[in-house]
Amino acid sequence: MNNKLLIIEDEPLLGNELSRRFRRMGFEVQLCSTIAQARQALLEQQLEPLVVLSDMNLPDGNGLDFLAEVREQLASSEWVFLTAYGTVPDSVRALQLGACDFLEKPCDLDRLDLVINSAKRSALAQSRLLAQQTVHTQRYTVAAFLGSSPQAQQTRAMLQRLTEVPFSSLIISGESGTGKGLAAKIIHHSGPRATAPFVELNCAALPKDLLESELFGHEAGAFTGAKKSRRGLFEQADGGTLFLDEIGEMPLELQSKLLKAIEDKKIRRLGSEMETSIDIQIITASNRNFAELVQQGQFRNDLYHRLSLFEVKLPSLRDRKDDLLELVPALINEFNSKAKRQVSKIPPAAWQMLNQHSWPGNVRELRNVVERCVLFADTEQLPLQWLQLDSVQPGSQTVSPATTDHLLIPLDGSMNLEEMERYIIDEALQRCQQNASAAAQLLRTSREKLRYRKQKHGL
């Protein structure tokens, strides 16, 4: 574990005393008497100390100026300054530059021990955070949206453009399971706000009152059970990205408050009289048709237009089945690693079943299918019996469609209500050779209503 301490002190007696003291405490101490020596250690020898304990006034320069010079190279190091001639402007500048503390000589050594140990804990936490951000940045690149189909390439091109431009809000639309959460993470972790927080919330998971408190936070006593103040997700995401999934489920009353927060860039906690400024980009997602929601009065028209500065429409898996050639092996490798399996062969019969399936649950369904097969695999071959696609594949009837009016629809969660409606209409049109009047008669509806629902589902 990194336990390095850099001391920059030009008084030999004090420098040696501090070195001995902190070595006894377990630190790896390097002592420099000038800024030139410290610069050589940090920039040329690539020393990465957890904590830097520096005098303010050194023979060849000012400690604060040196901090400003190397701050970017030592993002996870904490700085503590000692000075015999401390001034208020110096202490203010030290804190503005990100220094952990500013102490005047002579300093009580017990207090200095507490300050250095506190700085060490802070630096370790910062190092872990930077390591985690690096992992996310490497994982959520634009290339993480797999596929060579024209639809996948077009989506990647749009995601790449969005990582290069500053935006305040955008909408990601697409059917359930198409990867809207992945797209949001790619935009954040590959964009200019990658080092800032990424905070996400499923708007359909909470009732209205809890959703408002979750977003805006509350003060102590704002409502029954609010025993202490709490920051909302807007404040937690400050400087970064707030991802609101299933925003189409947000109550209308809360939509107006959300619109005001986005436009004013200020929020007010429940029970508070003070407003807090926020600097965030908002990514929203929904598998519902916004135009229809606005028309039905379930979503505010002004909020929709405010959010849809950009709109990314993710393709369904059935429209890019060629991408199975990349998706399936990638998922097998992922679950091999997790389950310690060695699946490496996909028989032709498996490919045939995978390509014949219409994937109503999109990539999410594909993940579940591949994970199940890998978990139950006894050999290096993907087991056919665990694909279990026949029972959920739209178009797999128990009897011939040419001789029956029956239709088998899965109720295992792989299709939502809108997807079922789309499938029923599509199947009726296919049985009627795309004759809309005949399909409408088969479905016992009017031709106008059928035309509206065809447009709604993109048929």
SS3 string of the chain? CCCEEEEECCCHHHHHHHHHHHHHCCCEEEEECCHHHHHHHHHHCCCCCCEEEEECEECCEEHHHHHHHHCCCCCCCEEEEEECCCCHHHHHHHHHCCCCEEEECCCCHHHHHHHHHHHHHHHHHHHHHHHHHHHHHHHCCHHHCCCCCHHHHHHHHHHHHHHHCCCCEEEEECCCCCCHHHHHHHHHHCCCCCCCCEEEEEHHHCCHHHHHHHHHEECCCCCCCCCCCEECHHHHCCCCEEEEECHHHCCHHHHHHHHHHHHHCEECCECCCCCEECCCEEEEEECCCHHHHHHCCCCCHHHHHHHCCCEEECCCHHHCHHHHHHHHHHHHHHHHHHHCCCCCECCHHHHHHHHHCCCCCHHHHHHHHHHHHHHCCCCCECCHHHCCCCCCCCCCCCCCCCCCCCCCCCCCCCCCHHHHHHHHHHHHHHHCCCCHHHHHHHCCCCHHHHHHHHHHHCC
Tell me, what's the pLDDT at 447? 76
* For residues 211-220, average pLDDT: 90
State what percent of residues in the chain have pLDDT above 70.
92
pLDDT band at 89 (very low <50, low <70, confident <90, very high): confident
The per-residue pLDDT for range 314-367, each reduced to its tens digit, is 999 999 999 999 999 999 999 999 989 999 999 999 999 999 999 999 999 999
State what percent of residues in the chain have pLDDT above 90.
43
More confident residue, 288 or 95: 288
pTM (whole model) above 0.75: no
Q: Domains in the chain and their CATH numbers?
A: 4-136 (3.40.50.2300), 142-313 (3.40.50.300), 316-389 (1.10.8.60), 395-459 (1.10.10)
Tell me, what's the pLDDT at 402? 38
Q: Which of 22-31, 219-228, 251-260 has the lowest mean pLDDT?
A: 219-228
The per-residue pLDDT for range 294-327, each reduced to its tens digit, is 998 999 999 999 998 889 999 999 999 999 999 9
Tell me, what's the pLDDT at 398? 35
